[in-house]
């Protein structure tokens, strides 16, 4: 009988239960999603560029488990708040506490199990979808990734069953301690006085120190190695939590204290709502900041590996195209490309040497790459050849370094012949077919990927039919080779990034929406005393904007500093980082607007 | 008439749209209220008191009829203009106080003035003025959660009063108060009415509360069926009201 009443009670709070279930399902789905990568060692070790990838996954698993743990605790508190008044009422009317406790326990586990079933199904679907999406975007197929992976399933089941059991027991104990009246009045008790934040210098200092330690570990990751991974993860997290819980109330309070802001229209309401709420929000916001850091960091990391291909190619050669005696077909392709610099050098092939025409070199001085970041135009004088071809060959070592670097590294089709520079007269006497090498630098290397690929293909065909043995590698093939190795890492970065961001979204949204019901009377009253809807709208936008702003700021700072971590393996980790940040910001803004919309639908229902 | 603040003529209110099970909550209600009057609305539960007050306070629209407040016909106004009208011309006191617990008493009272973008100096002056009248000067910096029910309701009254509205509308303002707090609030309302010429319309189901008014309108099944005026002491008026209620009860039998 009571069970039926309890079920009816649940049905009447359908909206709240949907929020609760959605929160649980998301956390389970994301946990599972993460585990499909973390536990699939064959896949990760096969595809990662970093040898300690497994360690990264292990640390990530721990962080995610901790976040999930607190998330579940929080959803549980919400569940309890939904139920205690009703259960208190039952007890008041004479139901046995023992029975109520059992009812609560069963309800807890039941919700957990339902969430687990939906969550794992959603997780598998989400993994499949995300994997396909990323592979589609990257235009690759990676073997070995399994969206439905049994070990991950087992770990997820175990982890959450234990969690749900713990929370059920916890509720059981909590229920035993509470008096009937406390339960009945549970709802009204939540109206507390806003606490005056203590300026806790100790916590703030500890937070700053921990954050500094975390950031330093990120910056010096290369020399700290494994230790760095651990200290960065622990110290950054600790610092974020300490700083948020000590500083946020102080900041919002200071904003409210500023009378010019506070005593101005609806702002007084907005700011006091925020100050009021910040105490219950600060830990969650710290969590959100960490998840943003992990999510945006993973995406930026993946993106950095992807962009690195271009940098690697850029460092491998100055010129994008090197074509020897272009065929008609090759000419046609070259036509399509806009070159910012192009040159043609005539040469003849001998037994041991390539003879380059001095005149062409003189007229079109090329650029060479001295060190990784140092590109210059060749300035050295060309050697004067007075004597015969034999004498010139004897002095082959006297070619200035810059010229020989260009001729062997860029202009040569085959490393087996050494270069010689000869005057017109000598050149004419050499009995060999005249060859020409075209070199060119395009206005945008990445824009002509199809053309480079085609050129490489044609070159391959030409080489296959000749007896050349030590053919040089093209800039495009350097790019392609790197891309192939990096793809797995890029995939993991994007995959984890999406998982972490979804977790963050789910946490923040759950918190905002689960508290929304309590705000309804406030907005109702404001509407009654004549606050125009426009102002109330503004207030919601502003309040949630600030709520979203704080974690984003710190999270992005973490990312910007954390990218240093990759400097040992990536040419420039910050190259085009704005793209990933823009991507993140877009997702985040969309998600902010969605939350505003959902929150508004609760507190500011449309009038007919 | 220039000196009538509220003019209700032939107002009907039907809940539910056509075809559904409709319910007539108000039927052809007409009355007017003079400036500076203290009117009580009484009736059994479900007789339409709240509905009447809500239509006057522009929170609910009427099905037929017209309502005029301070020379403005509110039944013809649009949502946007109504909000503005409420903010400037009306003051509300709710049964459950409806204070914002995230704001101090001072901020709660000052909110209508903040919304009008009034200068800080004048806000302070006005808030302190009403706080003096309502005797809550000492708690201005406190938060609602730690003040008594009586203080909460006086804070709500101060918020309703602070922007000099044309009329104060109160729905069972003593509903959540104990008898001594209720008496003190009613005395305050009476004083506001007598000394400061504030027009007040109050819904109540309790004869004692009603005895503080000057005139009582009785509602039954959505119809205004009787009104009585105070023509003597409060005690006599109280008796009159009780008699009227007894009469209404007898009719029901
Ligand atoms: N939104 C609504 N939709 C349909 N019917 C309504 C609505 N609001 C009120 N009613 C009905 O209109 C009638 C009058 O309601 P009202 O709230 O005005 O009563 P009241 O006199 O204030 O009663 P009480 O003393 O109990 O507060 C009631 O029968 C009620 O059921
Ligand atoms: Mg009512």
Q: What's residue B203's pLDDT?
A: 94
The whole-number pLDDT of residue B158 equals: 92
pLDDT of residue A607: 60
Last residue of a domain, one of A448, A473, A498: A473
Instruction: Provide the pLDDT confidence category of residue A190 given band limits of 50, 70 and 90.
Output: very low
A458 within a domain of the structure (yes/no): yes
State the average pLDDT over residues A533-544.
91
pLDDT bin (cut points 50, 70, 90) of residue A471 is low
Looking at the fold, whether A381 and A440 belong to one and the same domain comes out as: yes
Q: Are residues A27 and A160 in the same domain?
A: yes
CA distance A233 to A59: 7
**Is the pLDDT reported for residue A557 higher than 50?**
yes
ipTM of this predicted structure: 0.82
Residue with the larger pLDDT of the pair A176 and B171: B171
Nearest to A273 by CA among A497, A1, A542: A542
pLDDT bin (cut points 50, 70, 90) of residue A608 is very low
Indicate whether A240 belongs to any domain.
no
Last residue of a domain, one of A473, A508, A523: A473
Q: Which of A428, A448, A473 is the last residue of a domain?
A: A473
B26, B46, B82, B220 from B14: Cα distances, Å: 7, 14, 21, 15
Residue B157, domain extent? 4-252
Q: Are residues A55 and A66 in the same domain?
A: yes
Whole-angstrom CA distances from A159 to A23, A163, A244, A586 are 16, 6, 28, 33
Q: Measuring CA to CA, how many Å separate B33 from each of A279, B70, B166, B204?
A: 48, 10, 12, 17
Q: Are A294 and A331 within one domain?
A: no
Probe site for chain B from A189, A274, A530 (most B CB atoms < 10 A): A530
Q: Check residue A391 and give its pLDDT.
A: 75
Pocket test for ligand 1, best of B51, B55, B63 (most atoms within 8 A of CB): B51
Q: Does residue A268 sit within a domain?
A: yes
* A131-135 mean pLDDT: 85
**What average pLDDT does this structure show over A501-522?**
85
* Tally of domains in chain A: 3
| Per-residue DSSP letter, B175 | T
Q: How far apart are CA A557 and CA A554, in angstroms?
A: 5
Q: What is the mean pLDDT of residues A443-447?
A: 86
- Asked if residue A394 has pLDDT above 80, the reply is no
Statement: residue A195 has pLDDT above 70: no
What is the rounded (10 degree) CA torsion for A461, A465, A470, A474?
Answer: -20
**What is the distance in angstroms between the Cα of B17 and the nearest Cα belonging to chain A?**
12
Q: Is B47 in the pocket of ligand 1 (CB under 6 A)?
A: yes
Residue A583's domain comprises 254-317+474-602
Measure Cα distances from A408 to A94, A255, A350, B170 in Å.
Answer: 95, 66, 15, 95
Does A266 fall in a domain? yes
CA-based R_g, chain B, Å: 18
Q: Measure CB to CB from residue B145 to each of A192, A525, A531 and give the nearest one.
A: A192
For range A294-300, the mean pLDDT? 88
Q: Which of B2, B165, B183 is nearest to B86 (CA)?
A: B165
Determine the Cα–Cα distance for residues A587 and A231; give it in Å rounded to an integer: 30
Separation between Cα atoms, residue A370 and residue A372, nearest integer Å: 7
CA separation for the pair A218, A237 (Å, rounded) = 12
Q: What is the C-alpha separation between A587 and A496, in angstroms, rounded?
A: 15
Q: Do A392 and A422 form a contact (C-beta atoms < 8 A)?
A: yes
Confidence of residue A235 (pLDDT cuts 50, 70, 90): very high
Residue A220 has φ and ψ, to the nearest 5°, of -100, 30
Candidates B35, B44, B26, B27; CA nearest to B6 is: B35
Closest ligand to the CA of B44: 1
Which band of pLDDT confidence, cut at 50, 70 and 90, is reported for residue A233?
A: confident
Q: Are residues A441 and A485 in the same domain?
A: no
What's the CATH number where B198 sits? 3.40.50.300
Q: What is the mean pLDDT of residues A192-204?
A: 71
pLDDT (tens, 9 = 90+) of chain B, 253 residues, equals 457 889 999 999 999 877 778 899 999 999 999 999 999 999 988 999 999 999 998 888 899 999 999 888 998 888 888 888 888 889 999 888 788 888 889 999 998 888 888 888 899 999 999 999 888 999 999 988 888 888 998 999 999 989 988 899 999 998 888 888 889 889 989 998 998 888 999 999 889 999 999 999 999 999 998 899 998 899 999 999 999 888 887 877 6
Of B83, B117, B146, the CB nearest to A264: B117
How many helices (DSSP H) and strands (DSSP E) are in chain A?
21, 7
d(CA A327, CA A314): 26
Same domain for A388 and A445, yes or no, is yes
Name which of A190, A263, A519 to mutate to probe chain B: the one with the most chain B Cβ atoms within 10 A of its Cβ: A263
Nearest CA to ligand 1 atom 27: B45
Q: Which atom of ligand 1 is nearest to the CA of B23?
A: 5
- Please indicate, yes or no, if residue A210 is contained in any of the structural domains: no
CB B172 within 8 A of CB B200: no
Alpha-carbon distance of B18 to B176, in angstroms, equals 37
- Whether residue A213 lies inside any domain: the answer is no
Q: Mean per-residue pLDDT for A11-22? A: 82
Instruction: Say whether both A480 and A459 belong to one domain.
Output: no
Name beta bridge partners: A347: A356, A435
Q: Are residues A468 and A348 in the same domain?
A: yes
pLDDT at A443 over 90: no
What confidence category does residue A467 fall into, taking pLDDT thresholds of 50, 70 and 90? low
Give A602 Cα–ligand 1 centroid separation in angstroms: 24
Kindly give the distance from the C-alpha atom of residue B13 to the centroid of ligand 2, in angstroms, as a whole number.
15
The pLDDT assigned to A537 comes to 92
Q: Please tell me the total count of domains within chain B.
A: 1
Residues A463 and A496 in one domain: no
The predicted model gives A464-476 an average pLDDT of: 72
Residues A10 and A51 in one domain: yes
- Residue A354: predicted pLDDT: 84
Same domain for A352 and A309: no
Rg for chain A, CA atoms, rounded? 33
Do B244 and B207 contact (CB within 8 A), yes or no? Answer: no
Any ligand 1 atom below 6 A from CB of B85: no
Among B241, B190, B235, B206, which residue's Cα sits nearest to residue B36? B190
Please judge whether A272 and B112 are an interchain contact, meaning their C-beta atoms are less than 8 angstroms apart: no
Residue nearest to atom 26 of ligand 1 (CA): B45
Residue A299: inside a domain, yes or no? yes
Q: Residue A490 pLDDT more than 90?
A: no
Q: Where does residue A50 rank: exposed (0-12), middle (13-18), buried (19+ CB within 10 A)?
A: middle
Among residues B91, B85, B60, which one has the least CA distance to residue B73? B85
- Kindly tell me if the per-residue pLDDT of A554 is higher than 90: yes
DSSP character for A606? P
CB A590 within 8 A of CB A71: no
- Kindly state whether residue A395 falls inside one of the protein's structural domains: yes
pLDDT in the model for residue A192: 57
**Is the CB of A275 less than 8 angstroms away from the CB of B143?**
no
- The per-residue pLDDT for A469 is 59
Cα–Cα distance list, B228 to A469, B69, B211, B218 (Å): 117, 22, 11, 8
Ligand 1: atom nearest CA of B222 is 14
Please report residues of B whose CB lies closer than 8 A to that of A525. 94, 98, 100
Q: Residue B114 and residue A528: Cβ atoms within 8 Å?
A: no
pLDDT over 80 (residue A6): no
First CA to last CA distance, chain A: 39
Cβ–Cβ under 8 Å, residues B92 and B57 = yes
Ligand 1, atom 31, lies closest to the CA of B46
| B217 burial type by CB count under 10 A (0-12 exposed, 13-18 middle, 19+ buried) | buried
Q: Do both A349 and A436 map to the same domain?
A: yes
Contacts of A272 in chain B (CB under 8 A): 100, 102-103, 107
Cβ neighbors of B67 (< 8 A, separation 6 or more) are B6, B7, B8, B9, B11, B55, B56, B73, B74, B75
Nearest residue of B to residue A192, measured between CA atoms: B145
Q: How confident is the model at residue A215 (pLDDT cuts 50, 70, 90)?
A: very high
Predicted TM-score of the model (pTM): 0.78
Looking at the predicted structure, is the pLDDT value of residue A596 above 90?
A: yes
Q: How far apart are CA B243 and CA A237, in angstroms?
A: 73
**The predicted structure's pLDDT at residue A159:** 93
Residue length of chain A: 608
């Amino acid at each position: 009988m009571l069970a039926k009443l309890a079920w009816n009670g649940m049905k009447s709070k359908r909206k709240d239960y949907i929020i609760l279930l959605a929160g649980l399902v998301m956390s389970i789905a994301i946990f599972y999603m993460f585990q499909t990568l973390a536990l699939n060692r064959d896949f990760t070790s096969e595809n990662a560029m970093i040898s300690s990838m497994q360690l990264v996954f292990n640390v990530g698993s721990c962080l995610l488990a901790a976040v999930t743990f607190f998330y579940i605790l929080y959803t549980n508190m919400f569940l309890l708040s939904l139920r205690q008044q009703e259960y208190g009422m039952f007890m008041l009317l004479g139901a046995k506490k023992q029975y109520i406790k059992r009812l609560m326990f069963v309800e807890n586990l039941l919700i957990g199990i339902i969430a687990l079933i939906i969550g794992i199904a959603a997780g598998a679907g989400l993994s499949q979808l995300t994997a396909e999406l990323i592979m589609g975007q990257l235009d690759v197929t990676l073997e070995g990734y399994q969206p439905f992976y049994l070990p991950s399933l087992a770990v997820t089941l175990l982890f959450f069953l234990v969690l749900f059991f713990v929370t059920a027991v916890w509720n059981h104990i909590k229920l035993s301690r509470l008096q009937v009246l406390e339960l009945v009045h549970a709802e009204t008790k939540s109206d507390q006085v806003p606490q005056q934040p203590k300026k806790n210098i100790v916590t703030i200092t500890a937070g700053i120190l921990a954050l500094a330690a975390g950031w330093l570990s990120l910056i010096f990751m290369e020399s700290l190695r494994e230790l760095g991974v651990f200290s960065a993860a622990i110290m950054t997290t600790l610092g974020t939590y300490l700083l948020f819980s000590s500083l946020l109330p102080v900041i919002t309070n200071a904003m409210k204290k500023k009378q010019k802001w506070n005593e101005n229209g609806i702002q007084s309401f907005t700011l006091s709502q925020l100050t009021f709420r910040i105490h219950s929000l600060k830990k969650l916001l710290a969590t959100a900041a960490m998840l943003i850091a992990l999510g945006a960091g993973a995406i930026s990391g993946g993106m950095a590996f992807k962009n690195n291909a271009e940098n690697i190619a850029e460092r491998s050669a100055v010129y994008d195209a090197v074509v020897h005696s272009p065929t008609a077909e090759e000419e046609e392709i070259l036509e399509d490309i806009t070159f910012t610099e192009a040159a043609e050098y005539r040469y003849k092939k001998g037994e041991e040497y390539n003879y380059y025409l001095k005149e062409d070199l003189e007229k079109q001085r090329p650029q060479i790459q001295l060190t990784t970041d140092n590109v210059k135009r060749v300035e050295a004088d060309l050697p004067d050849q007075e004597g015969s071809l034999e004498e010139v060959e004897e002095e082959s070592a006297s070619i200035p370094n810059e010229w020989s670097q260009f001729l062997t590294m860029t202009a040569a089709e085959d490393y087996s012949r050494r270069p010689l520079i000869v005057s017109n007269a000598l050149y004419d006497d050499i009995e060999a077919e005249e060859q020409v090498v075209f070199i060119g630098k395009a206005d945008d290397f990445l824009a002509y990927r199809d053309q480079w690929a085609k050129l490489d293909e044609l070159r391959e065909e030409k080489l296959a039919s000749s007896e050349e043995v030590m053919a040089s590698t093209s800039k495009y093939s350097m790019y392609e080779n790197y891309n192939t190795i990096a793809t797995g890492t890029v995939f993991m970065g994007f995959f984890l990034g999406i998982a972490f961001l979804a977790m963050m979204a789910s946490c923040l949204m759950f918190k905002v929406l689960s508290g929304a019901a309590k705000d309804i009377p406030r907005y109702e009253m404001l509407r009654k005393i004549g606050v125009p809807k426009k102002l109330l709208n503004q207030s919601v936008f502003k309040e949630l904007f600030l709520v979203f702003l704080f974690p984003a700021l710190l999270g992005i700072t973490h990312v910007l500093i954390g990218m240093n971590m990759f400097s040992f393996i990536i040419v420039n980790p910050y190259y085009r980082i704005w793209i990933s940040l823009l991507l993140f910001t877009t997702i985040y803004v969309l998600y902010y607007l969605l939350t505003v919309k959902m929150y508004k639908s609760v507190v500011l229902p449309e009038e007919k | 008439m220039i000196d009538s603040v509220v003019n209700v003529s032939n107002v009907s209110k039907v809940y539910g749209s056509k075809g559904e099970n409709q319910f007539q909550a108000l039927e052809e209600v007409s009355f007017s209220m003079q400036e500076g009057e203290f009117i009580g609305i009484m009736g059994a539960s479900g007789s339409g008191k709240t509905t009447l007050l809500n239509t006057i306070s522009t929170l609910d629209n009427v099905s037929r009829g017209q309502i005029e407040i301070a020379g403005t016909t509110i039944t013809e106004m649009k949502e946007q203009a109504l909000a503005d009208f409420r903010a400037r011309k009306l003051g509300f006191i709710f049964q459950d106080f409806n204070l914002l617990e995230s704001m101090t008493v001072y901020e709660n009272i000052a909110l209508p003035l903040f919304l009008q973008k009034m200068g800080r100096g004048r806000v302070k002056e006005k808030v302190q003025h009403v706080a003096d009248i309502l005797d809550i000067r000492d708690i201005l910096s406190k938060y609602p959660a730690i003040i008594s029910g009586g203080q909460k309701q006086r804070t709500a009254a101060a918020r309703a009063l602070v922007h000099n509205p044309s009329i104060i509308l109160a729905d069972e303002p003593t509903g959540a108060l104990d008898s001594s707090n209720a008496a003190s609030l009613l005395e305050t309302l009476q004083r506001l009415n007598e000394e400061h010429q504030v027009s007040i319309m109050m819904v109540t189901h309790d004869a004692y509360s009603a005895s503080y008014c000057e005139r009582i309108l009785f509602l039954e099944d959505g119809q205004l069926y009787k009104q009585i005026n105070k023509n003597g002491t409060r005690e006599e008026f109280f008796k009159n009201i009780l008699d009227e209620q007894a009469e209404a009860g007898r009719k029901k039998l």
